[in-house]
């Protein structure tokens, strides 16, 4: 099958159901002008995150990996009036670009951007007894995905939805001998989830304007 069809269909869907307004297209443009890589979720994936948020009535959202704020803007737009997002970004330049894009989208009051390594900030959120999050989106560096998942479980409650992006990596997860640390990181996560009794999880393959990949969709069990 001609894989260009996936991009064409993605554009068809997003033109109907996930059109970008100026704040979102400005954000995508800012990645090029500011020298950031085009690693944001697609428009359809942004809309998918919104649908998931509304389905689980999310008022508090945690995101790991902000980049230029594109997914953060989609997420924030699905929050209720009293909703809040904490988003964590290690790169100060990315964070600066994201702040500008978030301001441009008039969403600053709803978004707390924390700068630092997620592995340093997550234990602080836990120690501070942060109120549990309703939805958590993991989209930072891939090698510590298992550690991120285990930390965020401590910031969750039964029913919290946890979504982890880029866990199929164009099918490279099938290579048991892979030495790519990103592939190794998501393989570790996917295998850990197969044994984890705290969540009910699956992986959705994703195709479209982004490379062929997949997202973990996990919900914390009511024990
Ligand atoms: C795939 S991009 C995030 C894309 C963003 N969620 C979106 O869809 O618009 C990954 C981001 O994670 C950040 N990152 C990498 N390692 C990190 C770490 N240890 N802690 C926090 N953020 C990290 C990168 O700097 C990059 O901006």
The mean pLDDT of 119-131, rounded to a whole number, is 98
- Rounded CA gap, 204 and 44, in Å? 14
Question: Looking at the predicted structure, is the pLDDT value of residue 2 above 80?
Answer: no
CB 206 less than 6 A from any atom of ligand 1: no
- Give per-residue pLDDT as tens, 135-189: 999 999 999 999 999 999 999 999 999 999 999 999 999 999 999 999 999 999 9
Q: To test ligand 1's pocket by mutation, which of 36, 67, 74, 152 has the most ligand atoms within 8 angstroms of CB?
A: 67
Cβ-based neighbours of 21, under 8 Å, separated by 6 or more: none
Q: What is the pLDDT of residue 223?
A: 76
Residue 201 three-state SS: strand
CB 182 less than 6 A from any atom of ligand 1: no
The mean pLDDT of 32-50, rounded to a whole number, is 98
CB 210 less than 6 A from any atom of ligand 1: no
Pull the structure tokens for residue 198: 């705290």
Domain count, the chain: 1
Domain containing residue 117: CATH number: 3.40.50.150
Give the N- to C-terminal CA distance of the chain in Å, as an integer. 44
Q: To test ligand 1's pocket by mutation, which of 30, 46, 90, 138 has the most ligand atoms within 8 angstroms of CB?
A: 90
- Rounded CA gap, 129 and 141, in Å? 25
Q: What is the pLDDT of residue 1?
A: 60
Residue entry with tokens 């039964």:
158
Q: What is the pLDDT of residue 29?
A: 98
CB 216 less than 6 A from any atom of ligand 1: no
Question: Looking at the predicted structure, is the pLDDT value of residue 121 above 80?
Answer: yes
User: Ligand 1: distance of its center to the CA of 141 in Å?
Assistant: 6
Q: Which atom of ligand 1 is nearest to the CA of 94?
A: 27
The secondary structure element, H or E, covering residue 85 is strand 84-89
Range of the domain at 77: 4-220
Contact (CB, 8 A) for 188 and 164: no
Q: Exposure string (b/e) for 71-109, b if CB count within 10 Å is 16 or more?
A: bbbbbbbbbeeebbbbbbbbeeebbebbbbbbebbebee
Confidence of residue 33 (pLDDT cuts 50, 70, 90): very high
Question: Looking at the predicted structure, is the pLDDT value of residue 85 above 80?
Answer: yes
Question: Looking at the predicted structure, is the pLDDT value of residue 4 above 80?
Answer: yes
Question: Looking at the predicted structure, is the pLDDT value of residue 116 above 70?
Answer: yes
- Rounded CA gap, 86 and 74, in Å? 14
- Rounded CA gap, 135 and 76, in Å? 12
Cβ-based neighbours of 199, under 8 Å, separated by 6 or more: 153, 162, 193, 218, 219, 220, 221
Question: Looking at the predicted structure, is the pLDDT value of residue 6 above 90?
Answer: yes
In percent, the amount of the chain with pLDDT more than 90 equals: 98
């Amino acid at each position: 099958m001609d894989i260009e069809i996936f991009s064409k269909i993605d554009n068809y869907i997003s033109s109907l159901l996930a059109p970008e307004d100026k704040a979102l297209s400005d954000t995508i443009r800012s990645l090029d002008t500011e020298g950031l890589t085009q690693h944001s979720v697609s428009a359809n994936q942004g809309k998918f995150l919104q649908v998931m948020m509304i389905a689980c009535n999310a008022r508090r959202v945690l995101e790991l990996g902000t980049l230029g704020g594109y997914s953060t803007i989609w997420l924030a737009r699905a929050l209720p009036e009293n909703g809040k997002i904490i988003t964590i970004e290690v790169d100060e330049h990315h964070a600066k670009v994201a702040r500008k894009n978030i301001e441009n989208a008039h969403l600053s009051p709803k978004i707390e951007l924390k700068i630092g390594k997620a592995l340093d900030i997550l234990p602080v959120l836990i120690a501070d007894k942060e109120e549990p999050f309703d939805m958590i989106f993991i989209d930072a560096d891939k090698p510590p995905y298992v550690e991120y998942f285990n930390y965020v479980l401590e910031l969750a409650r039964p029913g919290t939805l946890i979504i982890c992006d880029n866990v199929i990596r164009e099918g490279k997860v099938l290579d048991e001998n892979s030495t790519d640390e990103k592939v190794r990181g998501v393989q570790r996560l996917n295998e850990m989830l197969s044994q984890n009794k705290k969540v009910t999880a699956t992986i959705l393959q994703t195709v479209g304007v982004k490379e062929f990949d997949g997202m973990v969709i996990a919900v914390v069990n009511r024990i």
